[in-house]
Structure 1
Amino acid sequence: RILRTHVLRPTWHFVTPQDIRWMLALTAPRVHKLNDSTYRIQGIDSEVYKRSRKIIVKALQGEKQLTRDELASLFESSGIKIDNGLRLAYIIMRAELDGIICSGPRRGKQFTYMLLDERAPASNTLTKSEALAELAARYFTSRGPASVKDFAGWSGLSMADARTALEAVNNKLESEEINGQTCWFPQTRTRGLPKSPFVYLLSIYDEYISGYKDRTAMDAGFSMQLFAMGNALQFIIVMDGLVVGTWKRTIKKDAVLIELNYFKKLSRPEKLAVVNAADRYGEFLGLP
């Protein structure tokens, strides 16, 4: 079972039931601090949140599952105004960060919420020192080479806590100076690189992007084109580790259509690698 909740940074992440409590205990206090100004602007003071929390718990007790819209209707009928989507989002996020709710089973295409105590009643707890070490070990062994700044940006931890976490596990890692930064990575690397050219069609929210503060290593000289796209940028073409273009998808009933935008002229083998990546994506969706 995989759960979806707000943890690490003010955004959703997928976590296992075994990890959700110690990760919330470690990172939620800092996310709350980042959210404080929005809580004030949206009028989510201690009294409003206390009432909202009581409504949520009462409505979900007994392993009930409600959608976001259904929770909004309950708030409105109980006198808590939901004037905009942002206020609702931050009430729900606050309840997630406090370990009151997490994702429930999907209802068709809609996400639902359940009480965390009923959805994951037996999840692990760790001390802060144990949690810091565990998070650092998982990050650097799965995403290294990476710097302590990358780790802090990904985890939402303060630089002080990020350094403490790294110090707890750096004897199990190797390090190397890369572009003036000390980067850490696992001592044993068994997987070789795929045969070049190899292409991935990724979202800008993929861990390959969001997992690092410094993304210069993946810049093939087209950062200005990406920056100019602003909010229109959603999907990127990554070839041999470098961003070389963007892509869009249109999902039809019986097919997925992919529109490609290259930042440079590709060779025939490179174009074939993009086609292979598109085929893999279609297979994943079960569509040609």
Structure 2
Amino acid sequence: MVLTRRALNRATLARQHLLSRVDMPALDMIGHLVGLQSQAPHAAYYGLWSRLENFAFDDLSQLLVSRQVVRIAAMRSTIHLVTAEDALGLRAFTQEALERDLRNNSIHKAGVAGVDMDEVLAIGRELIEAEPLTAVRLREAFAERWPERDHAALAYAVRCLLPSVQVPPRGLWNTSGPIAHTTAEKWLGRTLSPIDPAALVVRYLAAFGPASVKDMQKWSSVTRLKAVFESLRPELITFRDENGVELFDLPDAPRPGEDAEAPARLVAPFDNLLLSHADRTRVISETDIKRVITNNGIVRGSLLVDGFFVGAWDIERGKEAVITLDLYHPVADTSALEAEAHRLLNDTDPGIPHDVRLRA
């Protein structure tokens, strides 16, 4: 059976809870999504707001403070907000990709050549478990021990090879803080443990399916997953997209059909929706993705109308809170987008003036 692009769009939005908001604890949603990409400290807050009824921004801050969720480098070697239950398993699953990132890093790979990495990691662990350290302070500590070495490269090696988390106040709502790390084991009181790849395929399909093997490899940066999908084939169903690519799915997962209503949405900066498939045309064209991802890797918030990308948004917060909606495609009626923007401002900045501005 062929799934049209529009039917695939609706299925994915349903899994992502972007067709309708749900009444679910934030912790459960983070688990369902297998984490939210979160380089920008507030990105995950917007991601949860777009999916949850009555989301309270301070609730996520409390989850970080209570160590029920953490910020850790995982999928795509990028910072994700994940549950404590998932953190070490996901890190173990993606460790090979993080090691590959270090080997291929044009800036730092020469600086770690010939280094006794076991010694570097042992010292790095000792330093950041004694107290959470910023990258600057870790480099300074390495400079004292190995003055002849590339200290930035050593610090980056620790980031890639030693599972570590960004500790609060980094990531708290309306609170700034340095990017300071300690080991995930120290912070969570548990050890690195493998995660069952087959179970993770099932969870990926529940949140991002229907999807191909290449889609999941794009999401995770982990290769050689075809055999895992094949082992699950008897338990899955398959489709083809309009290009003939085989898509796997869970038999009972929602596929509401191409006629399902898709309301206007402000999708978060760095949202998984745009970053977790090899073929992103189920939501956004490859031409438009270049409008959302800047040259320095920033992923702007995106605007969806009828389920598909029509533009991008940014928020500026000071004496007033302003959301600017940049429309790259014609929208006959912008009132639903504007209403969503005002709704967001009412929740993020209830005590100051608001404004929503359109640019076409």
Fold agreement, TM-score > 0.5: yes
1:137 corresponds, among 202, 213, 221, to 202
Q: CA deviation at 1:11?
A: 1.7
- 1:72-111, aligned counterparts within 5 Å? 72-80=139-147, 87=153, 90-96=156-162, 99=163, 101-106=164-169, 108-111=176-179
1:184 corresponds, among 236, 244, 248, to 248
1:240 corresponds, among 284, 287, 306, to 306
- 1:213-252, aligned counterparts within 5 Å? 213-219=278-284, 223-224=286-287, 226-227=289-290, 231=294, 234-252=300-318
2-structure distance, mates of 1:150, 1:239: 24
Q: Secondary structure, in 3 states, of the residue corresponding to 1:18?
A: helix
Q: CA deviation at 1:197?
A: 5.6
- 1:120-131, aligned counterparts within 5 Å? 120-122=188-190, 125-126=193-194, 131=196
Q: CA deviation at 1:208?
A: 0.6
Q: Residue in 2 aligned with 1:211?
A: 276
2-structure distance, mates of 1:46, 1:195: 57
Q: CA deviation at 1:257?
A: 0.8
Greater CA deviation, 2-11 or 42-51? 42-51
Q: Residue in 1 aligned with 2:7?
A: none
1:279 corresponds, among 339, 342, 346, to 342
Q: CA deviation at 1:75?
A: 2.4
Q: Secondary structure, in 3 states, of the residue corresponding to 1:261?
A: strand
CA contact (8 A) 2:133 2:181 kept: yes
2-structure distance, mates of 1:229, 1:20: 28
Q: CA deviation at 1:284?
A: 4.4
2-structure distance, mates of 1:228, 1:138: 30
2-structure distance, mates of 1:274, 1:48: 55
Give TM-score scaled by structure 1 length: 0.79
Greater CA deviation, 1-10 or 75-84? 75-84
Structure 1 pair 33–49 and aligned structure 2 pair: CA distance change class (3 A): same
Give TM-score scaled by structure 2 length: 0.65
Specify every segment of 5 or more residues in structure 2 that has no aligned partner in the other structure, as ranges. 1-67, 171-175, 355-360
Instruction: Identify which of structures 1 and 2 has the higher relative contact order when contacts are C-alpha pairs closer than 8 Å and 6+ apart.
Output: 2
Q: Secondary structure, in 3 states, of the residue corresponding to 2:76?
A: coil
Letter in 1 for 2:317: I
Q: Residue in 2 aligned with 1:53?
A: 121
Structure 1 pair 9–181 and aligned structure 2 pair: CA distance change class (3 A): same
Q: CA deviation at 1:176?
A: 1.6
Structure 1 pair 213–113 and aligned structure 2 pair: CA distance change class (3 A): same
1:6 aligns with 2:70: no
1-structure distance, mates of 2:148, 2:316: 37
Structure 1 pair 109–280 and aligned structure 2 pair: CA distance change class (3 A): farther
Q: CA deviation at 1:48?
A: 5.9
Specify every segment of 5 or more residues in structure 1 that has no aligned partner in the other structure, as ranges. none
| Count of equivalent residues | 273
Structure 1 pair 283–137 and aligned structure 2 pair: CA distance change class (3 A): farther
1-structure distance, mates of 2:126, 2:216: 38
Q: Secondary structure, in 3 states, of the residue corresponding to 1:43?
A: helix
